[in-house]
Structure 1
Amino acid sequence: MGNQVEKLTHLNYAEVPTSDPNGFEPDDDVPRIGVSYIFSNDDGDDDQDDHMDHFSSENHSVSHEEKPFDPQDELECAVYYREECVYERNTGDATHSAESLLNNCRPGDLLEFLATGQYPHWAVYVGDFQVVHLHRAEIKNNFLTDVSQGKKGRIVNGLYRYRALPPEVIVRNALDHVGSRDRELYWRNSECFAAWCRFGKREFKIGGEIRIGKQPYRLKLLFSEKKSHVLEFQSLEDVIMEKRRNDQIGKDAVMQELANHLNATHEIKDEDYVNDLF
């Protein structure tokens, strides 16, 4: 399988017929290029930040079994907008208990809580032991220790390479939206909401970028020093959904998916070649 993944250094899925990953068909003829045939909607699990009901997928299934976070199954990745790296995550970043995080958090910090088999849950620390986060289709203000639910977490201010807003603005962005729910929401998951609070970029919002058929975003998956794979997307929102899906299923499962896709692609090409002969 290693050799198979190594061959997948760069694929463009323009030839793959895809539909809107939210379950809607586009109103125009603009193609949605990407990998929607392998990724599902984010945060559909009751234990996650719960993506809005009108964006849920009937076929989506997520394991409810919670296991301690396994750093060995975390996948390194980087996101590029054209040639600029806008996000980078290296494995090995330490995680801490909620109590330990409280001793190190400052207002405006972004927190990520982790458990194997679940989507990462993001929150904004607003001071006084509290965080604001998107959970079950509502933006809530809760104590950090309650939100962690026993999971370990880490401060993730440096993952996105955008310039952060002043701490007081970040906190105000978060608190101003407490109580928003369902169709009042402009964010697809907890990461998009928390990142928007800190950086203020519309790209984190639903429909924040115009889809014009181009693929300016690239998600580079790093399996080892010599093995990587690149996917292309039209929007940052789509990249985040796929990145979080990879976090939820784990590194080994992502490698297996890519290997299976390569085998299927080769089978299709072989069949087309035989048909051409006859």
Structure 2
Amino acid sequence: MGAGSSVEMKGVKVSEKFNADMASQYDEKPQPGDLLEISRGTYQHWAIYVGDGYVVHLAPPSEIPGAGVNSLMSVLANTALVKKEELWEVVGDSTWEINNLLDDKYEPRPVYLIVREALDLVGEELPYCVFRGNCEHFVTRLRYGKPQSRQVRQVGEAAVYAGALTLGALGVAALLATLLGGNKDKRKQ
């Protein structure tokens, strides 16, 4: 294959770059409408596969492959751009997987609607909030009609757990102080 050529996999044209760099690493090939989870180390970036080796994703200004710690600056962004890019450009040297995480909970919308709506949003600047409107919310709304973020839920659960542990430890410390303090007072009498 020459530069810029493509092959067809499962009815989807895939660019040579995608085929050579990505497909050999993964047994399962993305289908239009699939959610792709891209590991950025400290967090996951999400995109939706729209076919022909392309994805649509919600990208705050700091969301670029290889940004590392700098990509965490997205928490400060209040807007993000909907982009259509080749999968390999978005993934960079990160790992990725197909993760239609809510298929067991919700029925996915028809593929043609998912793809059409995703493509219609390309170029739009949307409100961005890491807790209420991030890239995972964006793709789950497209696929299921319901914006959800497992990452936000997990962080929230971890914060609640850490808070419970802290409160529990403070409660035990207060109880011990009361008990031990009460014994001191009895000794003084």
Per the alignment, residue 191 of structure 1 pairs with 136
Per the alignment, residue 16 of structure 2 pairs with none
Unaligned runs of 5+ in 1: 1-96, 205-235, 247-253
* Equivalent residues in 2 for 1:72-151, closer than 5 Å: 98-99=22-23, 100=25, 104-116=29-41, 118-136=42-60, 137-151=80-94
Shift of 1:195: 0.7
* Equivalent residues in 2 for 1:61-80, closer than 5 Å: none
**After the TM superposition, which segments of 4 or more aligned residues of structure 1 sit over 4 Å from their partners?**
100-103, 257-261, 275-278
TM-score, normalised to structure 1's length? 0.42
Shift of 1:242: 3.4
Q: Tell me if the contact between 2:35 and 2:99 (Cα under 8 Å) persists in the aligned partners.
A: yes
How far, CA to CA, are the matches of 1:184 and 1:192 in structure 2?
10
SS in 2 for 1:176: helix
% same residue: 31
Q: Tell me if the contact between 1:121 and 1:190 (Cα under 8 Å) persists in the aligned partners.
A: yes
Check 1:138–1:106 CA distance in 2 against 1; reply closer, same or farther (3 A cut).
same
Check 1:162–1:121 CA distance in 2 against 1; reply closer, same or farther (3 A cut).
same
Q: Tell me if the contact between 1:113 and 1:153 (Cα under 8 Å) persists in the aligned partners.
A: yes
User: Amino acid of the residue matched to residue 243 of structure 1?
Assistant: Q
SS in 2 for 1:112: strand
User: Amino acid of the residue matched to residue 175 of structure 1?
Assistant: L
How far, CA to CA, are the matches of 2:156 and 2:135 in structure 1?
13
Q: How many residues align?
A: 138
Per the alignment, residue 99 of structure 2 pairs with 156
How far, CA to CA, are the matches of 1:269 and 1:169 in structure 2?
55
Unaligned runs of 5+ in 2: 1-20, 61-79
Check 1:260–1:168 CA distance in 2 against 1; reply closer, same or farther (3 A cut).
closer
Check 1:131–1:115 CA distance in 2 against 1; reply closer, same or farther (3 A cut).
same
SS in 1 for 2:121: coil
Shift of 1:125: 0.5
Per the alignment, residue 243 of structure 1 pairs with 154
Q: Tell me if the contact between 2:38 and 2:95 (Cα under 8 Å) persists in the aligned partners.
A: yes
Check 1:158–1:170 CA distance in 2 against 1; reply closer, same or farther (3 A cut).
same
Match of 1:274 among 178, 181, 188: 178
Greater helix fraction, Structure 1 or Structure 2 = 2
